[in-house]
């Protein structure tokens, strides 16, 4: 084979407990694996392609399909992905400078996003580029790229089975030893709620739907066109009579609205006894193939305090981006709103581990020194209402405040959350652009929420904490902060 600078290695196996033989499922005019091969061949920065599969007899069909496309194939241990990647590099040539790890369960990968990752690897002189950790692109648009030397180090040093299977995790947990760049989507392509990775039957429904939408769209335009279609979907709350015993529903439609909606979601109850909480799940009228489990579950018991309609009105802004991507995975198989670190051995040593968790909600909410937020008790009580339904860690008050309004505020916080979740700070505010402050949100006296990465912030009465914290602006700011760590 001619010498290559960038090698694309397609990783595919027939075995899958969640969706057996998923690589051989039909997708458009080909199969899932066929779609990946065709798209990988359109990556201008990939010079050569190899398929790496296992030695298991059930992968013989994978080999036959790859060979029908004219691909070279290597076969190695089923769970040792690092070994198979290294085998592919050795089979190609000694001139390989970079390796693109291509997961065949991402059949709508976008060549332009992969090309961008390769360019970033060389332009930034880093060891690894990943679009998955703290994803801003839709999950499945891009692929991980690493230098040949980085792969060789992983092979030499990594012994734990998790690292042999989930290759780049070895680097992500060692930020002092590897230069990692987190690929950031441009604003028009930022939509992490859309999952295009194939793991479950519901994913195949979703991917087939979007493949049909893109079938006649040029590859270069597909990343933008797909998200244009997602964003144009409407989520309409169906109003119910006040005396109705039925829970409210949300109907998801394409625009212009067709006669048949894409999905219907209904508010329901999750759990039993004192653990009952509101949830959101696909309605039975969506169809028999839609999952029946909840796609969203409230973090605390709010049933006694609000009606199902009030619950839906409160959570809809934060879940609407996900509902537009319907059909949606049920919560039992969905990692979270922003996927946390994948199967980590030492998450406490992983540079972005804290941020992956904190992307759901701030760890700490900090009241700045000075007066309480403009609007008085109405504002901070609304914040408390939201905190009661959210996975925050602690509430920080300025130390030695004796004003009566502060004492009332603190007393109510103590009653609602317990004294163990209240802390004191000398200055009561943020401490600058440091890693330890990435999980903190500050509430200031002019009625504004802000973070160390967004000192301007937004007005409290405009959005909820969750809406602000999960906004594309803050997600991108967190990722760009971590990327600056390449030079630290």
The pLDDT, as a whole number, for residue 334 is: 42
Q: What percent of the chain has pLDDT over 90?
A: 53
pLDDT band at 319 (very low <50, low <70, confident <90, very high): very high
pLDDT computed for residue 341 by the predictor: 45
| 25-78 pLDDT, tens digit each | 999 999 999 999 999 999 999 999 999 999 999 999 999 999 999 999 999 999
The strand pair at 440-444 and 364-367 is best described as parallel
On the question of pLDDT at 2 being above 50, the answer is no
Q: Alpha helices, DSSP H only, in 334-445?
A: 353-358, 377-388, 404-417
Q: Rg of the Cα trace of the chain?
A: 24
Instruction: Read off the pLDDT of each residue in 125-134 and give the average, rounded to a whole number.
Output: 93
Beta bridge partners of 441: 365
pLDDT at position 378 over 80: no
Q: How many CA atoms lie within 13 A of 406 on its CB side?
A: 17
Q: Are the CB atoms for 212 and 28 separated by under 8 Å?
A: yes
Q: How much is the pLDDT for 141?
A: 98
Q: Write down the pTM of the prediction.
A: 0.88
Mean pLDDT across 294-310: 85
Q: Is 52 helix (H, G, I), strand (E, B) or coil?
A: strand
DSSP 3-state assignment of 470? coil
The mean of the pLDDT values for the chain is 87
State the average pLDDT over residues 103-128. 97
The 10s digit of each residue's pLDDT in 210-236 is 999 999 999 999 999 999 999 999 999
Structure confidence at residue 336 (pLDDT): 40
Could you identify the residue written with the tokens 């990783």?
Answer: 11
Task: Give pLDDT, residue 89.
Answer: 96
Interval 260-296: pLDDT, tens? 889 999 999 988 887 888 999 999 888 888 998 999 9
pLDDT at residue 452, as a whole number: 85
209 CB-contact burial (10 Å; exposed 0-12 / middle 13-18 / buried 19+):
middle
Residue 321: per-residue pLDDT: 94
Q: So what's the pLDDT on residue 128?
A: 97
According to the model, what pLDDT value does residue 335 have? 40
pLDDT value at residue 73: 97
Tokens of 32: 């899932």
CB-based contact 323:457 (threshold 8 Å): no
Q: What is the pLDDT of residues 432-456, one digit of tens each?
A: 666 667 788 988 877 888 888 888 8
Task: Please report the pLDDT score of residue 346 as a whole number.
Answer: 58
Higher pLDDT among residues 220 and 381, named by residue: 220
- Please determine, for residue 383, whether its predicted confidence score (pLDDT) is greater than 70: yes
Which tokens hold the place of 299? 């973090």
Give me the phi and psi of 442, to 5 degrees please: -110, 140
Sorting pLDDT into bands at 50, 70 and 90, what band is 393?
Answer: confident
- 367 has pLDDT over 90: no
Residues 6+ apart with CB under 8 A from 201: 19, 289
Task: Please give the span between the terminal C-alpha atoms of the chain, in angstroms, as a whole number.
Answer: 40
Domain boundaries, the chain: 6-207, 235-323, 361-469
Q: Give the pLDDT band (50/70/90) at residue 242.
A: low
Comparing CA positions, the residue from 338, 403, 327, 339 lying closest to residue 367 is: 403
Taking the C-alpha atoms of residue 59 and residue 78, their distance in angstroms, rounded to an integer, is 10
Closest to 128 measured CA to CA, from 137, 138, 117, 139: 117
* Of the listed ranges 67-71, 111-115, 365-369, the one predicted with least confidence: 365-369
Q: Are 235 and 193 in contact (CB under 8 A)?
A: no
The distance from CA 310 to its chain's CA centroid, rounded to whole angstroms, is: 27
Is the N-terminal amide bond of 327 cis, ω within 30° of 0?
A: yes
Q: Name the residue with tokens 């894409």.
A: 262
Closest CA to 144 of 125, 171, 176: 171
Number of CB atoms found within 10 A of residue 370's CB: 15
Per CATH, the number for 6-207 is 3.90.550.10
The whole-angstrom separation of Cα 244 and Cα 221 is: 46
Q: Is the pLDDT of residue 374 over 70?
A: no
Nearest Cα residue to 346 out of 174, 158, 179: 174
Q: What is the pLDDT of residue 37?
A: 98
Are 383 and 411 a contacting pair, CB within 8 Å?
no
Q: In what order do the strands lie in the sheet with 394-398?
A: 422-425, 394-398, 364-367, 440-444, 448-451, 454-459
Q: What pLDDT is stored for residue 345 in this prediction? A: 63
How do 48-54 and 448-451 pair as beta strands? unpaired
């Amino acid at each position: 084979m001619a010498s290559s600078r960038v090698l694309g290695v397609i990783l595919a196996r027939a075995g899958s407990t969640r969706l057996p033989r998923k690589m051989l499922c039909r997708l458009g005019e080909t199969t899932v694996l066929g779609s990946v091969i065709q798209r990988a061949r359109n990556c201008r920065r990939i010079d050569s392609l190899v398929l790496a599969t296992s030695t298991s007899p059930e992968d013989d069909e994978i080999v036959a399909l790859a060979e029908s496309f004219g691909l070279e194939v290597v076969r190695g241990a089923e769970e040792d992905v690092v070994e198979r990647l290294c085998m592919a590099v050795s089979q190609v040539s000694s001139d390989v400078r970079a390796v693109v790890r291509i997961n065949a369960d991402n059949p709508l990968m976008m060549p332009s996003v992969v090309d961008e990752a390769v360019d970033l690897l060389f332009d930034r002189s880093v060891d690894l580029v990943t679009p998955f950790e703290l994803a801003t692109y839709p999950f499945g648009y891009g692929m991980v790229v690493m230098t040949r030397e980085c792969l060789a180090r992983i092979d030499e040093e990594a012994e734990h089975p998790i690292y042999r299977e989930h290759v780049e995790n070895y680097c992500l947990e060692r930020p002092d030893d590897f230069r990692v760049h987190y690929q950031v989507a441009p604003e028009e392509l930022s939509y992490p709620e859309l999952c295009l990775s194939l793991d479950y039957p519901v994913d195949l429904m979703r991917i087939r739907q979007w493949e049909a939408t893109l079938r006649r769209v040029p590859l270069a335009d597909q990343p933008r066109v797909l998200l244009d279609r997602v964003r144009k979907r409407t989520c309409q709350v169906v109003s119910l009579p006040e005396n109705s015993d039925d829970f409210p529903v949300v109907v998801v439609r394409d625009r212009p609205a067709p006669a048949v909606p894409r999905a219907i979601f209904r508010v329901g109850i999750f759990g039993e006894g004192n653990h009952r909480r509101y949830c959101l799940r696909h309605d039975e009228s969506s169809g028999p193939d839609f999952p029946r489990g909840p796609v969203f579950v409230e973090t605390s018991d709010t049933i006694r305090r609000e009606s199902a309609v009030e619950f839906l009105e409160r959570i809809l802004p934060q879940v609407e981006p996900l509902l537009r991507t319907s059909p949606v995975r049920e919560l039992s198989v969905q990692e979270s709103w922003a996927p946390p670190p994948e199967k980590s051995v030492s998450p406490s040593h992983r540079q972005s581990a804290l941020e992956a968790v904190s992307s759901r909600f701030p760890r700490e909410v900090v009241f700045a020194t000075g007066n309480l937020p403009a609007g008085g008790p109405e504002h901070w009580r609304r914040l408390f209402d939201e905190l009661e339904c959210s996975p925050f860690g602690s509430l920080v008050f300025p130390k030695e405040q004796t004003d009566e309004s502060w004492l009332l505020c603190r007393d109510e916080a103590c009653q609602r959350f317990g004294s163990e979740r209240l802390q004191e700070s000398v200055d009561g505010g943020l401490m600058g652009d440091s890693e330890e402050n990435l999980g903190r949100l500050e509430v200031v006296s002019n009625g504004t929420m802000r973070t160390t990465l967004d000192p301007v912030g937004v007005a409290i009465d405009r959005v909820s904490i969750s809406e602000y914290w999960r906004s594309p602006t803050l997600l991108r700011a967190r990722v760009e902060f971590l990327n600056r760590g390449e030079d630290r």
